[in-house]
Structures are given as C-alpha cells and as structure tokens.
C-alpha cells in the first residue's frame, strides 16, 4: 500500500511539473461587514472564501488562489476587539496543519486549512496575526499565510511598510516558498511594493519568478492608480505578479490582476461597484527576469478578459498633491507636438506627440508634468521622480489628477514618445505608469532605460498602437536614498 501512494505521488508530480503553465486565481473581494460580532464577521468572510476555493478547485482546476488584504476583517478595525478578529499562526518551519490540530487554532484558520486540504490547492490569505511573546506580550501583524495542498502552513509574510496601521507591528523578514508545480514564489503586501525592502530585495534570489501580492490600495491619480502600480512593477522587474485587491471603491480601494513576465496583462478587474469577482489565468512558468538596461514591451489585455460594460463612475480616486510639479500645457489642436521641461537641472522630461482630432469636443486638457523630490506616503516621506503626459479637467494645474464624469473624447494619439532624463542613481527604480479612463493600465507600449553616462540615465516610453481615453502616460520613479528627508523639490 505504501508503494502505491509513493507511485501515485510521483505520477502527480510528473503531471504538474510536466506542464509549462500553472493555473492561478486571484479574488477581487468586497468583505461582508454586517455581522453582529467581530468573530462572526470573520467567519462570514471565511465562508465566502470557502465558496471561491471550492469553485476554483472543482470547476476551474486552479493550482493556487490568492485573497485580498483585510478581506476577512474589513478595513475598519476596532482595536478594542482586535483579539476577536486576529488569530495565532503556526510557525511555517514546523509544517503544521491547523486542520489536524483544531483545538490549537482559531475556527477561521482551521476551516481554511481543512478547505485547502479537501480541495488540494494552495490557498493564500491575509489576516491579522496575533503573536504572544513570553505568555504576556501580544503583537499584531498584517500577515499573509500560505496553505499547501495538505492544509499545512508553509510560509508566512508580515507586512513591513505599514499604511496608517498604528495597531500593527511591522514585520522584518522576506518570505518565499517553492510550490509542487515547480514555481518559487515571493510575497508582500500593499504599500511594500513601493519600497526596496522587500519588493526589490526579494528579487535578489534568482529562483523567484512569481510574486503574490495582497492589497487594499488607495488609488491616487495620476501616477499611483492601483492597476498601474501592479503592472508597472511586473513589467519593470520581469516577473509574474498575482494581485488580489480589496474592493471598496467609494473609499478609493480596488483593483486586481494577473500580470505575466513577458509584459502581458492576462486578466484585470476594477469596478465602481463593491462586488467580489474571481479572476483566472494560465501563467507561464520559469520566465527569466529582464536584464537591466533592456527594453520591455507591454501587451494589451486579451479580448477574452475585457469587460466593456463595467461602470467605473462609482470608483473614487485621490488626487495627488502636485503643488511641487512643473507643468507645461500642450496644444492638442496641433497635429504634432514637441515639448520639454525640467523640475531640476538633472530631472527633465520631453514628449513628441502625433495626434488626430475626432471632433471639436475635447473634454480634457493635457499637460506635460515633471517632478523630482519628496512626497508623503501615509505619514512617511519618500523620494520620487515623475514625468508624464497627464489629463486635467481644465488649464488650472490643480485640476490635474481629477476625473471627469464622462469618458475622454475628441482625440486619438497616434504617436507618443515620452523621454525622461534623470540622475543616474544606484538605489532606486523607475517604472511605467499608465492609466486609461477605466482605471486600467494601457497595453501596446515599450519601456526602455539606458545609461547615458555615469551621471545620467534616459528612460523612453513609446506607444506601439494608437491610444484613446488616456489619463496618464508616464514614468514613476523611486529614489530610496531620499526617503524620510521631507517634501518638496530636491535639487
């Protein structure tokens, strides 16, 4: 009998390793928040997770499913009841299954473990972890945990870069794991994507080709829309990124996607209505990340995953404080435009546009904008540099980053070549930042970065097909050495 199970296991491994893709699911999730007690709220959402896991396993043959940040609890955490909404988590190095030791763990953890075991797929959930030190000290973490197909907790990541989470202790460690289908994953949560540790340092391990990203992102226009940030990270670093977003569009939250290492957008979803939706895609294994200095290409979302009927009007966005930007208005009545401007002597932006007017009803104004300096993210300041074509409601600079209730109309961009020339910093990263009216990243462009000399780099973003409905076509960069140095323009 023992030999039979050994052979069965070998057949299973040969099956999963023999395929050049795995099937992934991410859930855009709107939590249920009507329960009368904190414990009941968590369990209401656990039961919804179970439904998604069962569907993913039995109907979709999914290998791994990812859930959103704060999906079990909602965003508004009453710290007086945090013990009721949190759970202890087994140390992943012990390879324990809560399903096998139900008396030691919360009901939520046990149910999720047993469901992963029953349906034999990897399940990644975000939760509030309660950690008790020396039987008296309690710490709470914003944590992602991974159940393998046996329901065993095999990995744990504690969010490092917090976002208005005073009740949470920041984590310290990078987390990775290798799946039985041959892919090595890394993980991080929400705001971590903007910081070197962990989002870039995790990639020092060359085995990591895929990233799991649970998020409750606050979308900010023009450069930090949720899906734009996700796609920008994936295309710049040449990794597969699975992103599961918390759907609360009236409070700026939402946006999920599956992005491939070759620049393709396999599946994305964002909506003005707070609903839950599972996205599924077959993800290619083992793509090597792009080498520094090469060009990456973005590929349009396939028609199979486009949803032209969605209403995005109910999705509220934050307008970036752009008081420190330098702007130049663009005369879109001209069929060809070339303009340039600088924020500082070593941070300049130029653009070459060829366009075609479709009518005389232009309902947006377009400007070129550039910035180098410090800005706020939550209560911290970070170093950033931005360059882009952005849509504005009118000629007032303060209207840039605001959205009209109607779609952009009146123009087709046939050619856009955006060039940023920046200081050659060793401790930073520049990423494409693109958004259309649906708050989705655009496809069909190339993103190239090359070193001009030891002091300067040139970044070129160019469309490869005509574009309409553009809110943002730009570059968002991070200068990690300028973190925590205040706000304003840095010379």
Would you state the structure tokens that stand for residue 133, as one six-digit string? Answer: 């030190």
Count of CA atoms in the C-beta half-sphere (13 A) of 236: 26
Indicate if the alpha-carbon torsion angle 52, 54, 58, 63 is positive or negative.
Answer: positive
Nearest residue to 212 via CA among 250, 180, 174, 247: 174
Please report which helix (H) or strand (E) contains residue 116, including its range.
Answer: helix 107-119
**Within a domain: 242:** yes
Query: How far apart (Å, rounded) are the C-alpha atoms in residues 403 and 318?
Result: 10
Instruction: Let me know whether 95 and 50 are in one domain.
Output: yes
Question: In total, how many domains does the chain have?
Answer: 2
Q: Are 217 and 130 in a shared domain?
A: yes
CA pair distance 163, 212, nearest whole angstrom: 19
Question: With contact defined as beta carbons under 8 Å apart, do 266 and 441 qualify?
Answer: no
**Other Cβ atoms within 10 Å of 359 Cβ, number:** 8
Tell whether 245 and 387 lie within a shared domain: no
What pLDDT tens digit does each residue of the chain (491 aa) get? 444 444 444 444 444 445 899 999 999 999 999 999 999 999 999 999 999 999 999 999 999 999 999 999 999 998 999 999 999 999 999 999 999 999 999 999 999 999 999 999 999 999 999 999 887 799 999 999 999 999 999 999 999 999 999 999 999 999 999 999 999 999 999 999 999 999 999 999 999 999 999 999 999 999 999 999 999 999 999 999 999 999 999 999 999 999 999 999 999 999 999 999 999 999 999 765 655 557 888 887 655 455 555 789 999 999 999 999 999 999 988 999 999 999 999 999 999 999 998 877 788 999 999 999 999 999 999 999 999 999 999 999 999 999 988 888 889 999 999 999 999 998 999 999 999 999 999 999 999 999 999 999 999 999 999 999 999 999 999 999 999 999 999 98
For 320-357, b/e burial (b = at least 16 CB within 10 A) is bebeebbbeebebeeeebebebebbebbbbbbebebee
281 & 362 share domain: no
| Full domain range(s) for residue 116 | 21-294
- Predicted structure pTM score: 0.94
Could you tell me the CATH number of the domain that includes residue 98? 3.60.110.10
Q: Are residues 283 and 374 in the same domain?
A: no
- Where are any strands of DSSP class E within 12-163? 21-28, 64-66, 86-87, 122-133, 137-147, 153-158
Whether 54 and 129 share a structural domain: yes
Contacts of 481 (CB under 8 A, 6+ apart): 383, 425, 427, 428
CA atoms within 13 A on the CB side of 462: 12
CA separation (Å) from 253 to 241, 271, 316?
19, 10, 8
Q: Assess if residue 270 is contained within a domain.
A: yes
Report the alpha-carbon distance of residue 108 to residue 41 in Å, rounded. Answer: 11
On whether both 162 and 280 belong to a single domain, the answer is yes
Q: Considering the domain boundaries, does residue 5 fall inside one?
A: no
Per the domain annotation, does 14 fall within a domain? no
Rounded to whole angstroms, the Cα distance separating 124 from 214 reads 9
Residue 16 lies inside a defined structural domain of this protein: no
Q: In this structure, are 279 and 346 located in the same domain? A: no
The sign one gets for the Cα dihedral 234, 235, 240, 244 is: positive
Same domain, 80 and 229: yes
């Amino acid at each position: 009998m023992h030999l039979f199970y050994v052979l069965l296991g070998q057949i299973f491994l040969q099956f999963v390793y023999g395929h050049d893709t795995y099937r992934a699911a991410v859930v855009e999730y709107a939590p249920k928040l009507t329960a009368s007690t904190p414990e009941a709220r968590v369990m209401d959402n656990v039961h919804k997770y179970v439904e998604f896991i069962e569907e993913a396993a039995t109907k979709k043959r999914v290998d791994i499913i990812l859930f959103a940040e704060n999906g079990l609890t909602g965003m508004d955490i009453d710290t007086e009841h945090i013990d009721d909404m949190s759970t202890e988590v087994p140390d992943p190095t012990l390879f324990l299954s809560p399903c096998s030791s139900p008396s030691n763990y919360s009901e939520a953890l046990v149910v999720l473990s047993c469901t992963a075991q029953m349906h034999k797929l990897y399940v990644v959930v975000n939760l509030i972890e309660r950690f008790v030190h020396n039987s008296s000290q309690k710490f709470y973490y914003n944590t992602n945990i991974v159940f393998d197909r046996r329901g065993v907790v095999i990995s744990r990541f504690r969010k490092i870069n917090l976002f208005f989470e005073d009740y949470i202790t920041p984590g310290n460690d990078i987390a990775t794991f290798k799946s039985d289908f041959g892919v090595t994953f890394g993980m991080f949560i929400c705001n971590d994507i903007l910081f070197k540790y962990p989002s870039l340092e995790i990639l020092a391990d060359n085995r990591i080709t895929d990233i799991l990203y649970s998020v409750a992102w606050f979308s900010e226009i023009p450069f930090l829309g949720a899906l734009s940030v996700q796609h920008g990270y994936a295309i710049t670093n040449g990794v597969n990124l699975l992103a599961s977003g918390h759907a609360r569009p009236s409070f700026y939250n939402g946006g999920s996607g599956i992005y491939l290492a070759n620049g393709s957008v396999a599946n994305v979803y964002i909506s003005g209505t707070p609903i839950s939706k599972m996205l599924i895609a077959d993800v290619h294994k083992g793509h090597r990340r792009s080498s520094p200095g090469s060009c990456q290409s973005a590929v349009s979302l396939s028609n199979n995953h486009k949803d032209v009927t969605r209403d995005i009007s109910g999705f509220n966005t934050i307008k970036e404080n752009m008081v420190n930007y330098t702007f130049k208005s663009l005369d879109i009545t001209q069929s060809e435009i070339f303009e340039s401007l600088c924020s500082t002597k070593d941070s300049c932006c130029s653009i070459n546009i060829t366009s075609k007017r479709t009518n005389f009803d232009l309902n947006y104004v377009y400007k070129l904008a550039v910035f180098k300096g410090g800005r706020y993210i939550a209560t911290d300041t970070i170093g950033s540099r931005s360059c882009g074509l952005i849509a504005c409601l009118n000629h007032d600079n303060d209207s840039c980053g605001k959205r009209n209730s109607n779609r952009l109309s009146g123009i087709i961009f046939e050619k856009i070549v955006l060039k940023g020339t920046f200081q050659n910093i060793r401790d930073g990263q520049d990423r494409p930042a693109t958004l259309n009216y649906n708050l989705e990243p655009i496809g069909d462009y190339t993103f190239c970065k090359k070193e001009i000399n030891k002091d300067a780099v040139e970044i070129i973003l160019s469309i490869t097909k005509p574009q309409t409905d553009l809110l943002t076509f730009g570059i968002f960069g991070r200068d990690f050495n300028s973190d925590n140095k205040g706000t304003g323009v840095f010379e």
